[in-house]
Amino acid sequence: MFTGIISDVAEVIARADSGGEARFRFASRQDPATVDIGASIAHDGVCLTVVDRGPLEDGRMWHDIVASAETLARTTMGDWQPGRRVNLERALKVGDELGGHIVSGHVDGLAEIVAIEPVDDSRRFTFRLPQDLARYVAPKGSIALNGTSLTVNAVKGCTFTVNLIPHTLAVTTWSEARVADKVNVEVDMLARYVARLSTFTSCDED
């Protein structure tokens, strides 16, 4: 479980594909002593398990994860290559501050950036969602984009906007985002359950 508050930015430094899966190696400024093998870390919003880790000569650490064929197909990970930078978030601990909103690390689909506009020192991003996800997005609601907890400003059809403040742009990969980029989307968990409750009638709808 996560909150969408980014703790570090990592760089893909290696990728090896085998049998439909892919093993990625990341470099980051995390402390290797605090990252256990088997730990869950969100990478651009995708919850992945650390399978190995160690120090790098430049003071950073490396860690490896393995992504399944399903994960590669349903997220932006299929396109990740060495040099790609991704947002990291460590798993939530009991007692941690809930600074964003509850995020599971299970990506629902992809959105496309259709516009980026400066607003004072911030930037307004406009995204287009698939129709099956657009129903879960509401003005002033929460959404996780590339693992970042953000507040929806406005919604029109299958598009919506968010504002990113200078701090968020500085500590995440969002300053590198461009129009036409695809991003990982996790809709608000509460919106998903409300939608299910509103449409469910019985177990005999086979």
Q: What tens digit of pLDDT does each residue of 80-130 get?
A: 999 999 999 998 776 677 777 888 899 999 999 999 999 999 999 999 999
For residue 140, how far is the Cα from the chain centroid? 19
25, 155, 167, 191 from 164: Cα distances, Å: 29, 16, 8, 22
| CB-count burial class (<10 Å; 0-12, 13-18, 19+) for 158 | middle
State the amino acid at position 137 in one-letter form. V
> Mean per-residue pLDDT for 148-170?
96
The token pair that represents 76 in the structure block: 């932006």
Level-2 CATH architecture, domain 8-90:
Beta Barrel (2.40)
What pLDDT, on a 0 to 100 scale, did the predictor assign at position 142?
Answer: 93
Q: What tens digit of pLDDT does each residue of 60-87 get?
A: 999 999 999 999 999 999 999 999 999 9
The token pair that represents 18 in the structure block: 């085998």
Cα–Cα distance for residue pair 135/157, rounded to 1 Å? 9
17-21 long-range contacts, Cβ below 8 Å, gap at least 24? 20/68, 20/69, 20/72, 21/66, 21/67, 21/68, 21/69, 21/72
Fold match, 8-90 / 109-197: yes
Q: Are 177 and 125 in contact (CB under 8 A)?
A: yes
Q: Are 115 and 128 in contact (CB under 8 A)?
A: no
Average pLDDT, the chain: 92
Cα–Cα distance for residue pair 115/103, rounded to 1 Å? 25
Domain 109-197: which topology? Elongation Factor Tu (Ef-tu); domain 3 (2.40.30)
Cα–Cα distance for residue pair 10/25, rounded to 1 Å? 10
Cα–Cα distance for residue pair 97/113, rounded to 1 Å? 30
Bridge partners of residue 148, in order along the sequence:
145
- pTM of the predicted protein model: 0.91
What pLDDT, on a 0 to 100 scale, did the predictor assign at position 32?
Answer: 83
| Domain extent listing, the chain | 8-90, 109-197
Q: What tens digit of pLDDT does each residue of 29-50 get?
A: 998 888 999 999 999 999 999 9
